Chains A and B, each alone.
Chain A
């Protein structure tokens, strides 16, 4: 089992550019989530999914889109990057509800200039 994988590990964007952060899990987990981690802020939930075809907003969804076409994949899209989106992004999955024990990916460090 690879667990939760994320690509890329590092990314630098210019303001206004778009990109997709990839997340995949091979544990057949129904629930997947995207978080951002900022210094002194802990983790904040961006979007989550309770199964293929079902997504919902978290605490800080603005500027991000998600889709869930398969159980394995849960990409996060930045349509027009802003400096405020500079952060470390983590994808997580869980067998049960997203609020229960979660397995986290290694993270993507994004810098928006």
Chain B
């Protein structure tokens, strides 16, 4: 079985400050991990993914995420937030070892960047 949790419904940060959006996961085998962003009234857009290799993954728009196997986490980070980063962020996981086609999405975290 696979699951993903985004413990914060909303994250507030001031423009220019670093931001972190948290994600933890549970899988039986090897995780494939993803972050997507959704702007209002739009579909989801892929930001980045972890499959294997370096634990620090860099993605679009200056975002990065750190895979931590011991803590089963994949937190999304950005060194300096922009007001335009305000959106809904989804973490997703798929258990590659199990051969499942089906990813599990978190419930989403609303990021609000204040000017």
| Chain A interfacial positions (CB closer than 8 Å to B) | 4, 31, 35, 40-45, 48, 50, 56, 58-59, 90, 92, 97-107
Contacts and interface: CB of A to CB of B under 8 A. Distances in A.
Nearest to A40: B107
Nearest to B4: A42
A102 B46 contact: yes
B101 A97 contact: yes
B42 to A, nearest CB: 6
A41 B32 contact: no
B44 interface: yes
Contacts, number: 61
Interface string B68-89: 0000000000000000000000
B34 A101 contact: yes
Interface of B: 9, 32, 34, 36, 41-46, 49, 90, 92, 94, 96, 100-103, 105-108
A104 B44 contact: yes
B101 A42 contact: no
Nearest to A91: B43
B25 to A, nearest CB: 13
Contact of B43 (A31, A48, A106): A106
A99 B101 contact: yes
A45 B43 CA distance: 15
A43 B90 contact: yes
